[in-house]
Structure 1
């Protein structure tokens, strides 16, 4: 009730509508949570205000819920994506979130992040390999985004995706985007290594705009539905429409099972809640309630969002063409939303197309700014955490040196690796559709594998009686083991289905690329840790002598 009263108060004081007031209130709560995130006590020793249920739910929602996940899921599975989101929410998101909450509460004073969690639960080698895989997932993410960031840039400037017509020095589209991606990596590395963090503050405006895209989707779809007399662009013919995919590539059983990776990836970001357990009021009761309610809201939100896409986008009519792919589908669909709104109000074809182009520009600018801010942060933050969290002796030469708060030497090596991967993928001879599909599949697989490391380590965490556990969602070892096994199996099998699907379809290249990254980075991690163990062994022998 107090939440609604606050919204009403804002509508009167600011003279805005309900949606606008809700956005302001969400922004205020997010800002409050960020301010609370790094401090538990004020300078005079008094405790700061703790998170209550509603701010906790808002924090979890904004950390996890991603706008682009809805149009991409609709593109892959149509309405059939909805039950898989519910499945992933029940068997992955909720149990995994409770694990992260227990980790965060137990290791709230540790500076090593997930390395400390796994090292104290299982061991140093396991922790280093798991953390290195977590870091490697961001390497793959950078490869993906450095090439795909030009799509929102194109939409922001042109009002549509024109990248498929781009060509530099006689290169084809994917090669051109690869070259631009390499130049982007060099620019970001040089800039970020100088510690110019203000850039991320400027681009955080894009994050707020992306959050508002969810409101645009909701309101716009309702307007289109009303203008069309309740008729859906993608009709629901029978119950099968809510299960089967209109996408030929995802109509088989294997195709549907491989989609689970996309659903799991859509719940990424839940790790952030691990650090706010001790900042939550009455954590024993508030936190489980907040997680459960957040999970329901996020699952329902994704389900509604996917359904809303079907209100204004007919899959066969708008998404079946070769010019539409996973990299640009969100912009294509939002452009379609603007067009349908214009046509719904009886405006002319040219005017409706103009509205669609401006909606695409808004989406493109929002996503470009948000991705730019994320890129600058992720170009050094995961690498810095990996170096600072692991033993210093692991890193050869000056690689582990931190200068001016930045791992400058390691960032240079990182840039070389990312540029090399971009070059190999972009000059692989595939078209734009295959290129972006490969990049996104590589990213999804790489970024979900660390979940298995963390969930399996949770078994050791629960069995270790020396670890003080101030918050326990799993009251018994048996329930913890069951949850860890279920989460690991769901993520593991989802990745297996995703990896083998291209091979069964005769596309061996995609399978090789999806497994090459994790295998290579695992070998690198084992090599680094092996050298570290040898050094320690020699050092111990010298000390004994």
Structure 2
């Protein structure tokens, strides 16, 4: 369990730095400028804050339960729907884990060498993708080893990533404030340039409603509450602490996005940044912090050696932050969704070894099996087979819909949660029923719009294979879950 002296401030820090993404903020600034603010505010008011209130209410009721989404839905809807949703939720995270483990090597490379050398790793005459796969597989088993040694290791990883992210935020804040102090006359002109800069986001222009693809991006920038909620049962005094931490953290994350975009837009000339051909989405986070260091060095009249040293520090610290963020995120999603699925759902569904806990109260065999399956997927991709690569791209593509569907079901279940009096009126965080219904409707509307556009966009572009994948993938996972639950029900009858 979390330490007895775990303060609510530390818990909020973990939630904030898990949900908030510096990379998403930097991407929003670079791709849309200050026009991104409108979509972040709409996403926060229409989706994130209402969803945070719903999650806080569910966490308050089921704080000591292990099933997270399954527990939330089994009373509001039905155990079968709850299991299918939880299984779909886990499958989407499994695909994401494969992708994240393969990305882990890039920030490690930049931290050690000051640049990305992953495309040059051809040691012992082995191709780059083989080394990337081997290192990723080593990371999978190392992380699984530490997780199996106790939940406190997950908390340690999350704390470290939280502190490094706070460090990056402070570095960004003070650097931009120094630039603002050195050149206050540039603030308003830069904001105006940022507002009028053409959109770099695919499929958009400067018309408000044609920027709808960015709405999807803004919603995903607020993702992660469900991951943190899956760890709620490990929190001391979770019924009291967790809902408060979720609600307060939601407000802080929203403010961080808005303030960050305004500050970066006001102290940096977006037109000049876009003119360089060295910035692209793959290195945007490093490129922007490196550009910030160069601007700071120029403003403080550093010599070339000092400027290069400052730039290297900014870039490497950004890589260190991203590396710890990946490790923290992977530690939570390697454990949380799997734990919720196999220990929170009916035990009869799973083979006995899967649900057996070790001395540290971890589902050790299930975690090692998961690590093996992730490694097999990574190894298959290392062969660079066109069929396997295309299959993984399709799986990654449908992950967006697979992750969004559980959010939709959770939000849609909330009115039933209230109508069935699962909790008494005085236990509701928002005591007015109509407001709770409005929260549910708002989240459902936003997520449905996001899912619809995810499917409609490739259809409009004639990418019918992607359309079929988006529909077929979640349907296949749902059918598999329904089959597992049906087998469980049949055994219960016998």
1:382 offset after TM fit, Å? 2.4
1:69 aligned residue (24, 40, 57): 24
Higher RCO by CA contacts (8 Å cutoff, separation 6 or greater): 2
8 Å CA contact 1:105–1:469 kept in 2: the answer is no
Please, what TM-score do these two structures have when normalized by structure 1? 0.75
Map Cα deviations across residues 5-42 of structure 1 (whole Å, 9 max, x no partner).
xxxxxxxxxxxxxxxxxxxxxxxxxxxx97466xxxxx
Q: Name which of structure 1's ranges 304-313 and 356-365 shifts more when overlaid on structure 2.
A: 304-313
Match of 1:403 in 2: 358
| Higher-helix-fraction structure | 2
SS in 1 for 2:438: helix
Q: Which of 151, 161, 165 is the aligned partner of 2:106?
A: 151
The Cα offsets for residues 304-326 of structure 1, whole Å up to 9 and x where unpaired, read as: 21233335655565457776554
Which residue among 331, 344, 361 is the counterpart of 2:286? Answer: 331
Q: How do residues 7-406 of structure 1 correspond to structure 2 at under 5 angstroms?
A: 35=4, 61-62=16-17, 64-167=19-122, 177-190=132-145, 192-193=147-148, 195=150, 198=153, 201=156, 204-231=159-186, 235-237=190-192, 241=196, 245-251=199-205, 256-270=211-225, 278-279=239-240, 291=247, 295-311=250-266, 315=270, 317-318=272-273, 324-396=279-351, 398-404=353-359, 405-406=361-362
Task: Give the Cα–Cα distance (whole angstroms) in 2 for the partners of residues 255 and 414 of structure 1.
Answer: 41
Relative distance call for 1:236 and 1:493 in structure 2 (3 A) is: same
C-alpha change, 1:536 and 1:527, in structure 2 (3 Å) is: same
- Give structure 1 stretches of 5+ with no counterpart: 1-32, 38-48, 540-545
Distance in 2, matches of 1:197 and 1:280, equals: 18
Q: Quote the offset at 1:60 in angstroms.
A: 6.0
Q: Say if 1:204 and 1:370, in contact at 8 Å, map to a contact too.
A: no
The answer to whether the aligner puts 1:461 opposite 2:422 as a matched pair is no
Which sections of structure 2, spanning at least 5 residues, go unmatched? none
Q: In the alignment, which residue of structure 1 is the partner of 2:453?
A: 497
Q: CA deviation at 1:438?
A: 8.5
Q: Give the 3-state SS of the residue equivalent to 1:68 in structure 2.
A: helix
C-alpha RMSD of matched pairs (Å): 4.1
Distance 1:514 1:424, change over 3 A: farther
How do 1:467-486 residues align onto structure 2 when only pairs under 5 Å count?
A: 467-468=423-424, 470-486=426-442
Q: CA deviation at 1:121?
A: 1.3
Q: Which residue of 2 aligns with 1:415?
A: 371
The residue aligned with 1:542 is none
1:151 and 1:327 in contact (8 A); partners too = no
TM-score after normalising by structure 2: 0.82
| Partner Cα separation in structure 2 for residue 395 and residue 222 of structure 1 | 55
Q: Give distance in 2, aligned partners of 1:219 and 1:111.
A: 41
Aligned mates of 2:59, 2:317 — CA distance in 1: 37
Q: How many residue pairs are counted as aligned between the two chains? A: 483
| 1:532 and 2:493 matched | no
**Cα distance change, pair 120–300 in 1 and its aligned pair in 2 (3 A):** same
How far does the alpha carbon of each residue in 1:215-255 deviate from its partner, in whole angstroms, 9 at most, with x for none?
A: 1111111222333453269944479538x523455438787
Contact 1:112 1:390 in 2 (8 A): yes
